Amino acid sequence: MEHTHTGVAHEQHGHDASTKGIWKTFWILLAITIFEVGLAFLHLETGIPPKLLLNSVFIGLTLLKAFFIVAEFMHLRNEIRNLIMTILVPLLLFIWFIIAFLADGDSWKKMRKDLSPGTPAPAVHVVNEEAHH
């Protein structure tokens, strides 16, 4: 089969360009991580950005990092379209999994609150007494 490439002939040229690309990806990943940690500290110190926005940014940046690892480090970007599709299309199931299960968890919490008040068991406070009496 003709796909048994051995890597002998190609990539003799462009050695530096390809190594440069690897390091560029590294710096991008590092910068994103530092940005995430910086943002987390900003939130701890000042409370901004608000938690919901913060978490959305974290998830967005996580997906961005995942893209760089898969596309550059795992070379998926340079594979042919057939392969990219056979890998990525099944992963679309995750969109449904995440929506369905998180919504399920949330509705369960609401059900317990509305249909069966008192569950989960009344909060036992460790830090300070709750003033509900």
By the criterion CB under 8 A, which residues form the site for other proteins? 1-8, 10-12, 15, 18-19, 22-23, 25-26, 29-30, 33-34, 36-37, 40-41, 44, 55, 58-59, 62, 65-66, 69-70, 72-75, 78-80, 82-83, 86-87, 90-91, 93-94, 97-98, 101-102, 104-106, 108-109, 120, 123-128
Q: How far is the CB of 96 from other proteins (least distance, A)?
A: 11
Which one, of 26, 28, 48, 30, lies nearest residue 39 by Cα? 48
Helix axes 93-115, 81-91, angle to 10 degrees: 10
Q: What's the length of the chain?
A: 133
Q: How far is the CB of 1 from other proteins (least distance, A)?
A: 6
Q: How far is the CB of 74 from other proteins (least distance, A)?
A: 5
Cis peptide before 122 (omega within 30 of 0): no
The alpha carbon of residue 106 and the mean position of all alpha carbons in its chain are separated, in whole angstroms, by: 21
Q: What is the dihedral of CA 42, 47, 52, 53, to 10 degrees?
A: -50
User: 40 or 48: whose CB is closer to other proteins?
Assistant: 40
CA atoms of 29 and 34, how far apart (whole Å): 9
